Amino acid sequence: DSGVTQTPKHLITATGQRVTLRCSPRSGDLSVYWYQQSLDQGLQFLIQYYNGEERAKGNILERFSAQQFPDLHSELNLSSLELGDSALYFCASSVGSLVGSEQYFGPGTRLTVT
Amino acid sequence: AQSVTQLGSHVSVSEGALVLLRCNYSSSVPPYLFWYVQYPNQGLQLLLKYTSAATLVKGINGFEAEFKKSETSFHLTKPSAHMSDAAEYFCAVRDTGFQKLVFGTGTRLLVSP
């Protein structure tokens, strides 16, 4: 158990819908990262937050957004869902801005868009 | 930009045999490198990391990796495979100037009795 929790574990929804994925980082970790894992794209970085502020953006679609709340949990919002958005979404956390600090991953949320 | 290449999408070994999973990196600066393992229907678990302190890095579950600058490699090894090692393994590098990880395409390790 990494200490990172993600809910829900599975999510099945229809095209055009909007969903919210939730992540709670390890106790004491200030940085949260979101990654997408799909068969065709592999593991791709989406976005990072550090202590409530957006720190870095990766291959995140405009239909997707995220935020980190004062209690440090984070939410990833996916809207106008398409079939191609079906994937595993991982959240990871790390202690902070130390370059060498490792990231600990949650169990993921499997999103299926039908 | 930093990148890693994992050679071989599948590697098959017999139980008790040497495990060697290959990873080559591309980096303009000394890299921070990581190996993660993903068991079926689970998240990624950190096996080990290289942060320039030592070229031979020991990780969990008997795995180790050696950083070779001359070969730009960071291969993962284990002397004796166990059935429980069957999983997908990802090599990753910390992106320059950022903390995000850039992952390789992964290598699925199959262990036969």
Are B104 and B91 in contact, with CB atoms under 8 Å apart?
A: yes
Residue A98 binned pLDDT confidence (cut-offs 50, 70, 90): low
- Report the gap between the CA of A45 and the closest CA in chain B (Å): 7
Are B74 and B25 in contact, with CB atoms under 8 Å apart?
A: yes
Of A42, A102, A72, nearest in space to B45 by CA:
A102
Q: For residue B18, give the H/E element and its range.
A: none
Asked whether residue B3 carries a pLDDT value surpassing 70, the answer given is yes
* Dist CA A18 CA A32 (whole Å): 21
Interface of A with B in 39-58 (CB under 8 A): 42-45, 48, 55-56, 58
Which residues of chain A does B102 touch, with a Cβ-Cβ cutoff of 8 Å?
Answer: 45
Three-state secondary-structure class, residue B83: helix
Q: What percent of chain A has pLDDT over 70?
A: 96
- Report the gap between the CA of A26 and the closest CA in chain B (Å): 14
Residue A101 binned pLDDT confidence (cut-offs 50, 70, 90): confident
Tell me if A56 and B100 make a contact (CB, 8 A cut-off). yes
Instruction: Return the number of CB contacts < 8 Å for A and B.
Output: 56
- At A26 the pLDDT is 95
Written as six digits, the tokens of A77 are: 């919002």
Tell me if A97 and B43 make a contact (CB, 8 A cut-off). no
- At A97 the pLDDT is 60
Which residues of chain B does A102 touch, with a Cβ-Cβ cutoff of 8 Å?
Answer: 34, 46, 49
pLDDT in tens, B73-109: 999 999 999 999 999 999 999 877 777 899 999 999 9
pLDDT in tens, B26-73: 987 778 899 999 998 889 999 999 987 788 999 999 999 999 999 999
